Amino acid sequence: MILTKEDVLKLIPQDHPMVLVDELLSISDDGLQTSFFVEKDHLLVKDDFLMPAALIENMAQTAAVLSGYEAKQAKRKAKKGFIGAIKNFEIHHPVSVGSLLTTDLRVTYKVFNASIVEGIIRSGEKIIAEGELKIFLLDE
C-alpha cells in the first residue's frame, strides 16, 4: 500500500458519502491500482449489492487519485475533473456487501486536459467490470 484512506481523501474532490476508493496500492508510469471495500451502509449499496453506476464512479475516482497524486508530486493543486464519455463499459458480475474490489487503471492517451483511461475492476481474481473513460480536467 502506498497511500491510506486518509491520504487518498486528500487527493480526490469527493467526500463521504460518495467515496469509492479506500487505498492506493501501486502506481507506475502509465497507471495505478486502488482498492475499495464495499460496506453495507454505503450510499450506493441497495439490497446488499453495490449499484452498477458505482463501478463507473469507482473507476473515475481511481483516475482522480492518479491526477491528485501527480499534482502532489509536482507540488501543484489538483484539478477537478469529470467524465466526458464512457465506452465499452461492461459489468460481468454483481458486487455484494463485504467485497474487496481492486481497480487497475491505465492511461492510454493524454493530451492537454483530456485523458482516456482503461480500467478493470476485480474482486479477487474475478473480473467484475471493465471499460474505458474519457476524463476532462478543469482549469481553475
pLDDT in tens, 15-40: 888 999 999 999 998 789 999 999 99
pTM, entire model: 0.94
pLDDT in tens, 86-121: 999 999 999 999 999 999 999 999 999 999 999 999
Whether pLDDT at 1 is above 90: no
Q: What is the mean pLDDT of residues 3-10?
A: 89
Please report the pLDDT score of residue 79 as a whole number. 87
Reported as a pLDDT band with limits 50, 70 and 90, residue 50 is: very high
Residues 67-102 as b or e (16 or more Cβ within 10 Å = b): bbbeeeeeeeebbebeeeeeeeeebeeebeeebebb
Peptide bond connecting 94 to the previous residue in cis, omega within 30 degrees of 0: no
Which cell goes with 134? 474519457
- Mean of per-residue pLDDT scores for the chain: 94
Please report the pLDDT score of residue 139 as a whole number. 82
Q: Say if residue 62 is exposed, middle or buried (CB neighbours under 10 Å; 0-12, 13-18, 19+).
A: buried
Indicate the CATH number of 5-137 among 3.40.50.150, 1.10.10.10, 3.10.129.10, 2.130.10.10: 3.10.129.10
Reported as a pLDDT band with limits 50, 70 and 90, residue 65 is: very high
